[in-house]
Amino acid sequence: MIAGTLAYGPLDRVFRSRKWVNFFGNLFALLAIAALWTWPDRSVALSVTLLAMVGFFGASFPMLVAHGRSFFPDHLAGRGVTLLNLFGIGGVGAAQFVTGPLHAAASQEGALAGYGAIFGFFALALLIGLCIYLFSRDNLN
């Protein structure tokens, strides 16, 4: 995850876009999550590699906040970034209330099913988020 955060930093200047750096990075994270959902027990090496990919490509939060910050005027930058952080951290907190019971229910079929349900949930959530994000304006201010 740390390597991913460092890698995202200069990419908006390299590609002259925050939107598409965020979009394609998270698309790669989605593909890795979907692979974990599809092949949860293929091999330990594959699972570790896919989880590392999720960590690397999913480390886009600072770049997402930078993209969101560009839509706020300078005098509202602090409030805007705080709002973005609230939704980012709030979403993580809300996901705990969903994935806990989801794992418990799916685990009745076996431990693997519980984790598969969680990966499926996050794959679907990320897919929906990416579809919504497509409508955002690319702002490099």
The 10s digit of each residue's pLDDT in 52-70 is: 999 999 999 999 999 999 9
Q: What is the pTM of this model?
A: 0.89
Q: What is the CATH classification number for the domain harbouring 127? A: 1.20.1250.20
Query: Domain span at residue 49?
Result: 2-133
How many structural domains does the chain have? Answer: 1
Q: Mean pLDDT throughout 120-124?
A: 97
Supply the mean pLDDT for the chain.
93
Tokens of 66: 């930078």
- Would you say 56 and 1 are in contact if contact means Cβ atoms under 8 Å apart? yes
- Would you say 86 and 65 are in contact if contact means Cβ atoms under 8 Å apart? no
The 10s digit of each residue's pLDDT in 80-102 is: 999 999 999 999 999 999 999 99
Angle 10-16-20 from CA coordinates, rounded to 5°: 90
Residues in contact with 53: Cβ distance below 8 Å, sequence separation at least 6, in sequence order? 28, 29, 32
DSSP 107: G
Angle 73-77-79 from CA coordinates, rounded to 5°: 120
